[in-house]
Amino acid sequence: MKYCPGTIKLIFIPFFCFLMGCHGEPRDKADQIRAFYQGFQNSDYTQIKSTISDSLAITEGDYVMRFTPKSYYEQFKWDSIFEPHYTIISINEVKNAYEATVAVESKRFDFLKNNPLTCTHRFNFKSDKINMIENLDCSNANWQIWQQQRDSLVTWIKKYHPELDGFVHDLSMKGAQNYLKAIELYKNHKDTIQ
Protein backbone atom coordinates (compact mmCIF):
# COMPACT_ATOMS: atom_id res chain seq x y z
CA MET A 1 0.00 0.00 0.00
CA LYS A 2 1.36 3.36 -1.01
CA TYR A 3 1.74 6.03 1.75
CA CYS A 4 -0.35 9.11 1.03
CA PRO A 5 0.14 12.00 3.50
CA GLY A 6 -3.03 13.76 2.34
CA THR A 7 -5.16 10.74 3.21
CA ILE A 8 -3.69 10.57 6.71
CA LYS A 9 -4.61 14.24 7.27
CA LEU A 10 -8.16 13.64 6.06
CA ILE A 11 -8.56 10.80 8.55
CA PHE A 12 -6.88 12.38 11.58
CA ILE A 13 -8.20 15.96 11.38
CA PRO A 14 -11.87 14.98 11.86
CA PHE A 15 -10.83 12.52 14.60
CA PHE A 16 -8.75 15.22 16.31
CA CYS A 17 -11.67 17.66 16.07
CA PHE A 18 -13.96 15.04 17.60
CA LEU A 19 -11.57 14.63 20.54
CA MET A 20 -11.00 18.36 21.00
CA GLY A 21 -14.60 19.42 20.45
CA CYS A 22 -14.12 21.39 17.24
CA HIS A 23 -17.37 22.74 15.84
CA GLY A 24 -16.05 25.35 13.47
CA GLU A 25 -15.15 28.77 14.75
CA PRO A 26 -16.87 29.51 18.06
CA ARG A 27 -19.07 32.58 17.87
CA ASP A 28 -18.31 35.57 20.06
CA LYS A 29 -20.52 35.32 23.16
CA ALA A 30 -21.93 38.83 22.65
CA ASP A 31 -22.90 37.73 19.12
CA GLN A 32 -24.62 34.66 20.62
CA ILE A 33 -26.71 36.96 22.83
CA ARG A 34 -27.55 39.19 19.88
CA ALA A 35 -28.57 36.13 17.84
CA PHE A 36 -30.70 34.89 20.76
CA TYR A 37 -32.72 38.12 20.87
CA GLN A 38 -32.77 38.44 17.08
CA GLY A 39 -34.47 35.03 17.01
CA PHE A 40 -37.27 36.41 19.20
CA GLN A 41 -37.42 39.57 17.12
CA ASN A 42 -37.71 37.58 13.87
CA SER A 43 -39.98 34.86 15.30
CA ASP A 44 -37.24 32.37 14.37
CA TYR A 45 -36.90 29.63 16.97
CA THR A 46 -34.23 27.86 14.91
CA GLN A 47 -31.97 30.85 15.47
CA ILE A 48 -32.65 30.82 19.22
CA LYS A 49 -32.10 27.07 19.42
CA SER A 50 -28.67 27.46 17.80
CA THR A 51 -27.57 29.68 20.71
CA ILE A 52 -28.78 27.65 23.71
CA SER A 53 -27.36 24.61 25.42
CA ASP A 54 -29.13 21.25 25.75
CA SER A 55 -30.00 22.40 29.27
CA LEU A 56 -31.05 26.00 29.91
CA ALA A 57 -31.83 27.48 33.34
CA ILE A 58 -33.55 30.84 33.77
CA THR A 59 -33.48 32.33 37.25
CA GLU A 60 -35.58 35.02 38.87
CA GLY A 61 -34.27 35.49 42.41
CA ASP A 62 -34.49 32.06 44.06
CA TYR A 63 -36.93 30.75 41.43
CA VAL A 64 -35.32 28.55 38.75
CA MET A 65 -37.01 27.39 35.55
CA ARG A 66 -35.25 24.60 33.63
CA PHE A 67 -35.68 23.98 29.94
CA THR A 68 -34.55 21.70 27.15
CA PRO A 69 -34.52 23.17 23.63
CA LYS A 70 -37.88 21.45 23.09
CA SER A 71 -39.53 22.82 26.23
CA TYR A 72 -38.06 26.29 25.63
CA TYR A 73 -39.90 26.29 22.30
CA GLU A 74 -43.16 26.39 24.32
CA GLN A 75 -41.87 29.49 26.15
CA PHE A 76 -40.99 31.05 22.78
CA LYS A 77 -44.51 30.39 21.45
CA TRP A 78 -46.07 31.90 24.61
CA ASP A 79 -43.90 35.02 24.29
CA SER A 80 -44.56 35.46 20.55
CA ILE A 81 -48.33 35.84 21.07
CA PHE A 82 -47.72 39.22 22.76
CA GLU A 83 -45.83 40.47 19.66
CA PRO A 84 -42.70 41.59 21.50
CA HIS A 85 -40.12 43.97 20.13
CA TYR A 86 -36.62 43.62 21.61
CA THR A 87 -33.99 46.36 21.66
CA ILE A 88 -30.54 45.52 23.00
CA ILE A 89 -29.21 48.54 24.87
CA SER A 90 -25.86 47.11 25.95
CA ILE A 91 -23.85 43.90 26.31
CA ASN A 92 -20.87 43.86 28.68
CA GLU A 93 -18.52 41.15 29.88
CA VAL A 94 -18.62 40.94 33.69
CA LYS A 95 -16.65 38.31 35.65
CA ASN A 96 -16.66 35.47 33.10
CA ALA A 97 -20.29 36.14 32.16
CA TYR A 98 -22.08 38.66 29.99
CA GLU A 99 -24.71 41.15 31.09
CA ALA A 100 -27.23 42.38 28.54
CA THR A 101 -29.61 45.24 29.13
CA VAL A 102 -32.65 44.84 26.91
CA ALA A 103 -35.83 46.88 26.43
CA VAL A 104 -38.92 44.90 25.48
CA GLU A 105 -42.20 46.32 24.22
CA SER A 106 -45.24 44.05 24.00
CA LYS A 107 -49.02 44.02 24.19
CA ARG A 108 -48.81 42.46 27.66
CA PHE A 109 -46.40 45.08 28.99
CA ASP A 110 -48.57 47.79 27.46
CA PHE A 111 -51.59 46.58 29.44
CA LEU A 112 -49.46 46.28 32.60
CA LYS A 113 -48.32 49.90 32.06
CA ASN A 114 -44.66 48.97 31.94
CA ASN A 115 -43.96 49.39 28.24
CA PRO A 116 -41.14 49.13 27.39
CA LEU A 117 -39.78 47.03 30.22
CA THR A 118 -36.00 47.45 30.46
CA CYS A 119 -34.14 44.65 32.25
CA THR A 120 -30.60 43.43 32.73
CA HIS A 121 -29.87 39.72 32.35
CA ARG A 122 -26.67 37.79 33.08
CA PHE A 123 -25.80 35.14 30.49
CA ASN A 124 -23.60 32.18 31.39
CA PHE A 125 -22.17 29.83 28.80
CA LYS A 126 -21.17 26.19 28.59
CA SER A 127 -19.35 24.94 25.49
CA ASP A 128 -20.05 28.26 23.74
CA LYS A 129 -23.82 27.94 24.24
CA ILE A 130 -26.09 29.85 26.61
CA ASN A 131 -26.86 27.58 29.55
CA MET A 132 -28.13 30.06 32.17
CA ILE A 133 -29.91 33.40 32.07
CA GLU A 134 -30.21 35.25 35.37
CA ASN A 135 -32.78 38.03 35.50
CA LEU A 136 -31.01 40.71 37.53
CA ASP A 137 -32.94 43.97 37.52
CA CYS A 138 -35.65 45.84 35.65
CA SER A 139 -34.57 49.43 36.14
CA ASN A 140 -37.72 51.15 34.88
CA ALA A 141 -40.30 48.72 36.24
CA ASN A 142 -43.15 49.93 38.40
CA TRP A 143 -44.13 46.66 40.04
CA GLN A 144 -46.91 48.31 42.05
CA ILE A 145 -48.76 49.42 38.91
CA TRP A 146 -47.96 46.05 37.26
CA GLN A 147 -49.55 44.20 40.17
CA GLN A 148 -52.59 46.51 40.30
CA GLN A 149 -53.25 46.04 36.58
CA ARG A 150 -52.74 42.28 36.72
CA ASP A 151 -54.87 41.81 39.85
CA SER A 152 -57.75 43.92 38.53
CA LEU A 153 -57.71 41.90 35.28
CA VAL A 154 -57.57 38.54 37.08
CA THR A 155 -60.39 39.51 39.48
CA TRP A 156 -62.62 40.82 36.69
CA ILE A 157 -62.06 37.74 34.49
CA LYS A 158 -62.79 35.40 37.38
CA LYS A 159 -66.12 37.15 37.92
CA TYR A 160 -67.29 37.81 34.35
CA HIS A 161 -65.42 35.27 32.19
CA PRO A 162 -64.57 32.28 34.39
CA GLU A 163 -63.87 30.20 31.27
CA LEU A 164 -60.59 32.18 30.95
CA ASP A 165 -59.66 31.96 34.65
CA GLY A 166 -56.09 30.75 35.16
CA PHE A 167 -54.72 32.45 32.03
CA VAL A 168 -52.11 34.35 34.03
CA HIS A 169 -50.37 31.12 35.12
CA ASP A 170 -50.79 29.20 31.85
CA LEU A 171 -47.44 29.55 30.03
CA SER A 172 -48.63 27.69 26.93
CA MET A 173 -49.48 29.30 23.62
CA LYS A 174 -53.17 28.85 24.45
CA GLY A 175 -52.57 30.54 27.81
CA ALA A 176 -51.03 33.55 26.06
CA GLN A 177 -53.97 33.71 23.64
CA ASN A 178 -56.35 33.63 26.61
CA TYR A 179 -54.31 36.38 28.29
CA LEU A 180 -54.73 38.63 25.23
CA LYS A 181 -58.43 37.75 25.01
CA ALA A 182 -58.84 38.65 28.70
CA ILE A 183 -57.12 42.01 28.12
CA GLU A 184 -59.38 42.74 25.14
CA LEU A 185 -62.57 41.85 27.06
CA TYR A 186 -61.47 43.91 30.05
CA LYS A 187 -60.58 46.96 27.93
CA ASN A 188 -63.87 46.77 26.03
CA HIS A 189 -65.75 46.61 29.35
CA LYS A 190 -63.81 49.64 30.66
CA ASP A 191 -64.52 51.55 27.45
CA THR A 192 -68.29 50.92 27.67
CA ILE A 193 -68.58 52.22 31.24
CA GLN A 194 -66.67 55.44 30.55
Summarised one tens digit per residue, pLDDT across range 163-188 is: 999 999 999 999 999 999 999 999 99
Look at residue 18 in the predicted model and tell me its pLDDT: 36
Residue 10 lies in a domain: no
49 & 94 share domain = yes
57 & 89 share domain = yes
Residue 39 φ then ψ, to 5°:
-60, -40
59 & 112 share domain = yes
88 & 98 share domain = yes
Look at residue 170 in the predicted model and tell me its pLDDT: 96
Residue 6 lies in a domain: no
137 & 190 share domain = no
Please identify, among 126, 141, 156, the residue that sits at the C-terminal boundary of a domain: 141
Residue 88 lies in a domain: yes
Look at residue 96 in the predicted model and tell me its pLDDT: 87
Residues 6 or more apart from 18 whose CB is under 8 A from it? none
Look at residue 194 in the predicted model and tell me its pLDDT: 59
32 & 69 share domain = yes
Start-to-end C-alpha separation, the chain: 92
40 & 131 share domain = yes
Residue 85 lies in a domain: yes
Residue 164 lies in a domain: yes
96 & 154 share domain = no
Residue 89 belongs to domain spanning = 26-141
Kindly report the CATH number assigned to the domain that includes residue 98. Answer: 3.10.450.50
Please identify, among 116, 141, 166, the residue that sits at the C-terminal boundary of a domain: 141
Cα(65)–Cα(132) distance, integer angstroms: 10
Q: Residue 86 CA to chain centroid, in angstroms? A: 10
76 & 168 share domain = no
Look at residue 124 in the predicted model and tell me its pLDDT: 97
Residue 176 lies in a domain: yes
Look at residue 192 in the predicted model and tell me its pLDDT: 74
Residue 8 lies in a domain: no
69 & 44 share domain = yes
35 & 121 share domain = yes
Residue 15 lies in a domain: no
Look at residue 27 in the predicted model and tell me its pLDDT: 65
Domain total of the chain = 2
For 16-46, how does the pLDDT look when each residue is reduced to its tens digit (9 = 90+)? 333 334 444 446 999 999 999 999 999 999 9
Burial state string for 123-149 with b = 16 or more CB within 10 A and e = fewer than 16: bebeeebbebbbebebeeeeeeebeeb
Is the CB of residue 41 less than 8 Å from the CB of residue 86?
Answer: yes
Look at residue 191 in the predicted model and tell me its pLDDT: 72
* Under-70 pLDDT residues of the chain: 1-27, 193-194
Cα(142)–Cα(121) distance, integer angstroms: 18
97 & 172 share domain = no
